[in-house]
Structure 1
Amino acid sequence: MGAPSSTRSARIDALRGLAVFGILLINVWGFVYGYTALRYGVVEPSATTGDRLAVFFAAAFAEQKFYPIFAFLFGAGFSLQMRSLEQKSGLEGAKAIYLRRLKWLLVVGVLHGTLLWFGDILTSYALTAFWLLRRAGESWPEVRRSIRFAVIVNVAMLLLTAGIMATIANMPEYGAETAAEALLANEVYTHGRWLEVTMARIGDFGLNIGGFWLFVPRIALLFLLGVAAVQLGWLTHPEQHRALWRRILLVGVFIALPLNVWWGYEALSWALEPETSSRSVHMASLVLELAGPALAAAYVAVFMLAGQRAMDAVARWLAPVGRMALTNYLGQSLACGLLLQAYGLGLGAVLSRAELMGLSAAIMLAQVLVSRWWMSGHDQGPAEALWRRYTYRR
């Protein structure tokens, strides 16, 4: 069976490219500081202004912002692909084809999590998408009911999270223990032998997957919102929904942005004095669960509201990155492992936090150039081509 042809949106591809780069701004810290609550490690009191700004910037403007965009676009892509497949193969045939796609993604996610990056998101996406596949073919009223149910579940999970954080805030030893874990993880990932790094990564990947049940309701809701955005034309015909996108942008700028700046301040303060573990940092972390995705929605709104000339200029650089997003995501993990961790060059042991952000920018620039070069002669990235070949195998 041949793969269906489709018309791609440069605007959506550019947005996906932005999300891939934003995810790097957060993932890069884990290659140095491990899977701990102190994502940015323990910042020394003597840290430079540049290092402090690097932590603040990542926390305020990247953390909890870009994986929601990626999940939202995953749901949108699911809707568009199923629509195309259903026209050619019928609903059941389309489900069978997409199921192969998800199985391939699951295998790649597990390999990625164990061999390269413990924070792999592909495994969670694939597992959640098995549930989403059962919703294929639903009408808008049915999708709307699913969204309402997902919202209720997410509210319940948020209340559970609030209870957990309240308990943690009353544990005086929590800050010191978290700081010790972060320092130990940093030592292993930047100085340990290959086997030590590998065992630590596998252990952290297990913790990541173990917390899947806390994460899946949020991913499911974002997937469903992506499906709705296609069904209602929010993404595919943004010019017809400018009023909606303006409201989303206003909420992001005037409500979500100040709350995310607050989190950036609290995250930096906690990294500087982890033993304190004040109630305010836990409150800000809880608020981030809503404020982060809200600011992410504002980022999407900027792309949807951008004029065609401006969008063409942005898409020229970011759309190729988005068209081979999986290749670039996996490439980032390979680059960070080889450059930062002990089994590679071990730069994580010597780079300051500001330099770590500089390295991320260099990886982004390299991926922009490689993506433009590759897509000038190919329809897909290398990983995407393998994915497609397996999905549509005869």
Structure 2
Amino acid sequence: MSSTEGRPAASPPQAPRASQLDAVRGMALFGILLVNVWSFLWGFGYLRFGLMPESPSLADRGAVFLVALLAEQKFYPVFAFLFGAGFALQTRSMRRRFPAWQTVRQQYSRRLRWLLGCGILHGTLIWAGDILTIYGLVGFLVLGMAGAKLKTIAINLWNWSVVWLAAIAVNLALALTPYPEQDVRHQAQEMVQDIAATHDIYTAGTLAEQALQRLADYADVTSRSIFLVPHLLVLFLLGMLAARLGWLTRPRRHAALWRRMRAVGFGVGIPFNLLWAAAALAEAMDPLAPPHVVLALYALLPAGGSFLAAGYVASLMLAGDRASSRLSAWLSPAGRMSLTNYLMQSLLGVLLFQGVGLGLGRSATSPAVVLAQAFAIIAFQIAFSRWWLGHHSRGPMEALDRRRRATIWPRPPGG
């Protein structure tokens, strides 16, 4: 697109609803980075924040505590919820172009294969913690919900909620099962050694060593993601209902619902996550003798994190015009090109922290420093997204996806 003066035209202004949803997506994108950034240095072992310095500063402790409190397992639920909402909105839009829902499902399955392919390439070539792979796979499980009645979606939501809660109960029971202290300590020592070895490979290993470690980590992360499937399905289906019922598209009409969700989300989420953050910090400080309560709280974290996530989303939905416009100005551009920014975060993380780039992770292992660098990446992406969308209508990866769809979704006759 070009202006009459030969310069790229600025992207057209968005409707308030679309801008608000993109702001939520941008918030989730940056929240996910605050959790993912540690894996560029330490891989994907059980110590999410790696090995603490011998004498961690107050800032180091505060960084771990705040990330555990405010970010860990709070933002992938938001992303999954928005994925389901986007699925409902996009398939309904496609239905206006195609004669039957079966055709819509067939066409959308191609988009899921594209997402799955991006995830596999991302996970094997750049960063092992890819989430697109599991999103693409789970997307096929809800593909039949395109065009489904609200009652059908609600029944499926109920059924998968029961499965998810049962899985949490099983994990909690396992976490509370007593094990000999000597065995627990020995296992923790082995995990600490593995994390230290992984850190050395990612920050100072050869390209071949890093590639092998990344493939092993990708296989491990993807296999463990299977346990996320019930939770993701609950979030996908809830997002579909939220879009179909207008909770997201007409938030002011449903302000009472959002106020209740905000009260419950913060009322349950803040106390639980304060406990979790204290336990996570204690574990990080002494990984060889973590408090027994850590495993129990971690088993409950998918639910506890989701409550706080609901509070975040409700707060953005209830934001007044002035606050909403300010948030949208900063977060919406990043949310509009979320796929581009998600992949860019991986590239920047590899180039900044790992041995193939600047290798900052070799020495800059202080949690406070790592968190500050994550915020620097966020600031860069906010500025870059605003600049890019001032010259282009969509992000690079989004434009590529758009061109791909244009070749396989021809406009029907008379459409």
Give TM-score, length-normalised by structure 2. 0.91
Q: 1:244-323 to 2 correspondence within 5 Å?
A: 244-323=257-336
Shift in alpha-carbon separation, 1:163–1:181, aligned structure 2, 3 A: farther
Offset of 1:6 from its aligned partner? Answer: 9.7
Instruction: Report what 2:386 is aligned to.
Output: 372
The structure 2 residue matched to 1:138, chosen from 142, 148, 160, is 148
Alpha-carbon separation, structure 2, partners of 1:253 and 1:109:
33
Offset of 1:265 from its aligned partner? Answer: 1.1
Instruction: Report what 1:26 is aligned to.
Output: 35
CA offsets 1:40-70 (integer angstroms, 9 cap, x no match)? 0121340111111111111111000000000
Alpha-carbon separation, structure 2, partners of 1:357 and 1:304:
28
Amino acid at match of 1:61: L
Tell me which moved more, 80-89 or 254-263. 254-263
Q: 1:94-105 to 2 correspondence within 5 Å?
A: 94-105=104-115
Amino acid at match of 2:289: T
Alpha-carbon separation, structure 1, partners of 2:299 and 2:260:
24
Shift in alpha-carbon separation, 1:169–1:229, aligned structure 2, 3 A: farther
Question: Percent of aligned pairs with the same residue?
Answer: 42
Alpha-carbon separation, structure 1, partners of 2:97 and 2:17:
18
Question: Unaligned regions of 5+ residues in structure 1, if any?
Answer: none
Instruction: Report what 2:233 is aligned to.
Output: 220
The structure 1 residue matched to 2:78, chosen from 59, 69, 79, is 69
Tell me which moved more, 377-386 or 69-78. 377-386
Instruction: Report what 1:356 is aligned to.
Output: 370
Tell me which moved more, 228-237 or 164-173. 164-173
Offset of 1:8 from its aligned partner? Answer: 6.2
Offset of 1:252 from its aligned partner? Answer: 2.3
Alpha-carbon separation, structure 2, partners of 1:129 and 1:375:
28
Amino acid at match of 1:362: A
1:200 paired with 2:209, answer no
Offset of 1:182 from its aligned partner? Answer: 1.8
Alpha-carbon separation, structure 2, partners of 1:193 and 1:293:
39
CA offsets 1:242-279 (integer angstroms, 9 cap, x no match)? 11111111122222111111111111110111111321
Offset of 1:173 from its aligned partner? Answer: 2.5
Alpha-carbon separation, structure 2, partners of 1:313 and 1:7:
12
Tell me which moved more, 119-128 or 93-102. 93-102
Offset of 1:213 from its aligned partner? Answer: 2.2
Alpha-carbon separation, structure 2, partners of 1:208 and 1:279:
24
CA offsets 1:141-186 (integer angstroms, 9 cap, x no match)? 1010000111011012112222332358553423222222222222
Instruction: Report what 2:402 is aligned to.
Output: 388
8 Å CA contact 1:340–1:348 kept in 2: the answer is yes
Instruction: Report what 1:9 is aligned to.
Output: 18
8 Å CA contact 1:178–1:274 kept in 2: the answer is no
Shift in alpha-carbon separation, 1:164–1:178, aligned structure 2, 3 A: farther
Amino acid at match of 1:250: A
Shift in alpha-carbon separation, 1:249–1:197, aligned structure 2, 3 A: same
Shift in alpha-carbon separation, 1:6–1:299, aligned structure 2, 3 A: closer
1:325 paired with 2:335, answer no
Amino acid at match of 1:145: I
8 Å CA contact 1:143–1:224 kept in 2: the answer is yes
Greater radius of gyration (CA): 2
Q: Secondary structure at the match of 1:9?
A: helix
Alpha-carbon separation, structure 2, partners of 1:332 and 1:241:
35
Give TM-score, length-normalised by structure 1. 0.96
8 Å CA contact 1:97–1:392 kept in 2: the answer is no
Alpha-carbon separation, structure 2, partners of 1:327 and 1:168:
45
Amino acid at match of 2:120: V
Instruction: Report what 1:154 is aligned to.
Output: 164
Amino acid at match of 2:249: T
Q: Secondary structure at the match of 2:268?
A: helix
Alpha-carbon separation, structure 2, partners of 1:168 and 1:342:
41
8 Å CA contact 1:169–1:282 kept in 2: the answer is no
8 Å CA contact 2:172–2:300 kept in 1: the answer is no
Q: Secondary structure at the match of 2:386?
A: helix
CA offsets 1:115-152 (integer angstroms, 9 cap, x no match)? 11111000000000011111111111101000011101
8 Å CA contact 1:6–1:84 kept in 2: the answer is no
Instruction: Report what 2:5 is aligned to.
Output: none
Shift in alpha-carbon separation, 1:62–1:168, aligned structure 2, 3 A: farther
Amino acid at match of 1:101: R
Question: Unaligned regions of 5+ residues in structure 2, if any?
Answer: 1-13, 409-415
Alpha-carbon separation, structure 1, partners of 2:253 and 2:272:
30
